[in-house]
Amino acid sequence: MADGSSFYITTPIFYVNDVPHIGHAYTEVAADVISRWHRQAGEDTWMLTGTDEHGQKILRTATANDVTPKEWADKLVAEAWKPLLETVDIANDDFIRTTDERHEQNVQKFLQHLFDEGHIYTGEYEGYYCVGCEEYKTDSQLVPGTGEFEGQLVCEIHSKPVELLNEKNYFFRMSAFADRLLALYEERPDFVQPESARNEVVSFVRSGLDDLSISRSTFDWGVKVPWDDSHVVYVWFDALLNYITAVGYGQDDAEFARRWPAQHIVGKDILRFHAVIWPAMLMAAGLEVPRGVFGHGWLLVGGEKMSKSKLTGIAPSQITDTFGSDAFRFYFLSAIGFGQDGSFSWEDLAARYQAELANGFGNLASRVVAMIARYCDGAVPTAATLTAADLEIQSIERRATERSWEAIGRLAVHEAIAAAWELVDALNGYLTSEEPWALAKDPAQRDRLETVLAVAYHGLGTLAVLLSPVLPKATAKLWTALGAPGTVQEQRIDRADEVRLGEQVSALEALFPRIEVAG
Ligand code: MSP
């Protein structure tokens, strides 16, 4: 039982150099579904998201647009990143910006602490830097450029040229933590998930860890190094700290103790920052390492990672305007194994919307509610003697409840949805085999009709609860139509099969209306 235990989950904080695309929304939605699930299981849940606003990438974009970086960030946060949360229906508890005072002050506190403890020294570094990644690259991460960049070395992720930098910087003695990191991966095999990500991280650390350059002195858009204000803190070092500055690190010990450690959800491209650098930073500061780091896959377009810089970005609203936010959430989390890459296509989205949401779940809900309205004047009937078919539905309710919660515990979001969907399919099969519309024609079958409708009604209530993290809008409508008390979000998801419903149904509009695709 999950009662009372605390659960803190984070998304990466997003660079504000550009507007969000569906890859960013995917990260948000995944973390949101997991957090809603835990909240509905009675856990003291906290979901954090936010924006990453310092560094050269943002500075350059702002300069190119003739505004200060802070003006640029304010505009993007207000016009693009906060609206994204509405667009895909995110129920975050907090939104942190790295320009917040609560963040900047405590980044300095953290850094000073590491400096005082001898984890930081002055050094010199020369290497290739990718501003897109905000990271120094090793030779193996560079590939020959093509097209306009023919003859130059480019970053393998951004396909843009890297820059040779030579700077006197402050360094974090990260190499000193290699053994402790390896011991951590060994002792807690699920610290880095999925398995493929863990293997990659382990072999990366085994091959030897360098120290990390954590300051820059050639520009000043960042948090000032507390003992030397000619340097700003390296943007990743600054950004990673958001996960603790947002929950009271340095200023509210009780809040920090209540929330930390977090489960981090990140894209696999930024896994190493979270699974190597971040725990090493925390170890150096004497703080607990994260609860875990999950690296999800990429949304691919034309076989490549979707990205605005490569002009393959699709805005989330392009999908939600037509299909709605529930369909967005459902599609990306059920069609792609969480942890794997997935190709997006409009055809696949439209086909799944029709087959699974409209015909599968939506139609089931409409039919059951409409039959109770028609055959019972809207009064929810009670079951009489239960047959094997009825008992089977009840056992599938139990199984779907247990399996989906168990899958969420493993962060296997797609499996959790699939477990709940077994009940959608089972209920549709049940209606087909029990034929309540035929029973309704025969007054001698009244008890049986009422039993079938009562069983189906309860199954639908269980489904509303189980699917509410993924389909918050549709399940809220369904909950109202079922005449059930309170809100669906207040119901315990880990006991969805024991849900208590209402006595009177009301009309239910189509949950997933037919979509006329233009063209
Ligand atoms: N600012 C850093 C994160 C700092 S966290 C302390 C950053 N920002 S980002 O805006 O570039 O990316 C944020 C997230 O979006 C990452 O998890 C990244 O993997 C994800 N995605 C960006 N493009 C994506 C796809 N095409 N597909 C799936 N996720 C993608 O990195």
Considering the domain boundaries, does residue 414 fall inside one? yes
| pLDDT for res 518 | 57
| pLDDT for res 309 | 66
Does the pLDDT of residue 519 top 50, yes or no? no
Considering the domain boundaries, does residue 379 fall inside one? yes
Write the pLDDT tens digit of every residue in 285-338: 999 999 999 999 999 988 888 876 666 789 999 999 999 999 999 999 999 999
Cβ(278) – ligand 1 distance below 6 Å: no
Q: Whose CA is nearest to atom 17 of ligand 1?
A: 267
Cβ(12) – ligand 1 distance below 6 Å: yes
Q: What is the mean pLDDT of residues 235-253?
A: 98
DSSP-assigned beta bridge partners for residue 51: 14, 97
State the Cα–Cα distance between residues 407 and 337, nearest whole angstrom. 12
Cβ(266) – ligand 1 distance below 6 Å: yes
For 211, residues 6+ apart whose C-beta sits below 8 A from its C-beta are 123, 171, 172, 173, 174, 175
Structural domain containing residue 473: 345-498
Considering the domain boundaries, does residue 374 fall inside one? yes
Considering the domain boundaries, does residue 384 fall inside one? yes
CB atoms within 10 A of CB 231: 23
**How far, in Å, from the CA of 361 to the mean position of ligand 1?**
32
**Could you tell me what percent of the chain has a pLDDT over 90?**
87
Considering the domain boundaries, does residue 63 fall inside one? no
| pLDDT for res 109 | 98
Considering the domain boundaries, does residue 289 fall inside one? no
Considering the domain boundaries, does residue 454 fall inside one? yes
Q: Give the CATH number, domain containing residue 367.
A: 1.10.730.10
What b/e readout covers 188-204, taking b as 16+ CB neighbours within 10 angstroms? eeebbbbeebbebbbee
Does the pLDDT of residue 149 top 60, yes or no? yes
Number of structural domains (the chain) is 1
Considering the domain boundaries, does residue 172 fall inside one? no
**How far, in Å, from the CA of 106 to the mean position of ligand 1?**
24
Is 24 noted as a catalytic residue in this protein? yes
DSSP secondary-structure letter at 223?
A: P
Is 376 noted as a catalytic residue in this protein? no
Nearest to 457 by CA among 368, 395, 376, 385: 368
**How far, in Å, from the CA of 196 to the mean position of ligand 1?**
19
Q: Whose CA is nearest to atom 7 of ligand 1?
A: 14
Contact (CB, 8 A) for 424 and 406: no
CA distance readout (Å), 23 to 260, 316, 333, 449, 514: 27, 9, 12, 47, 26
Q: Which two tokens stand for residue 513?
A: 């209306």
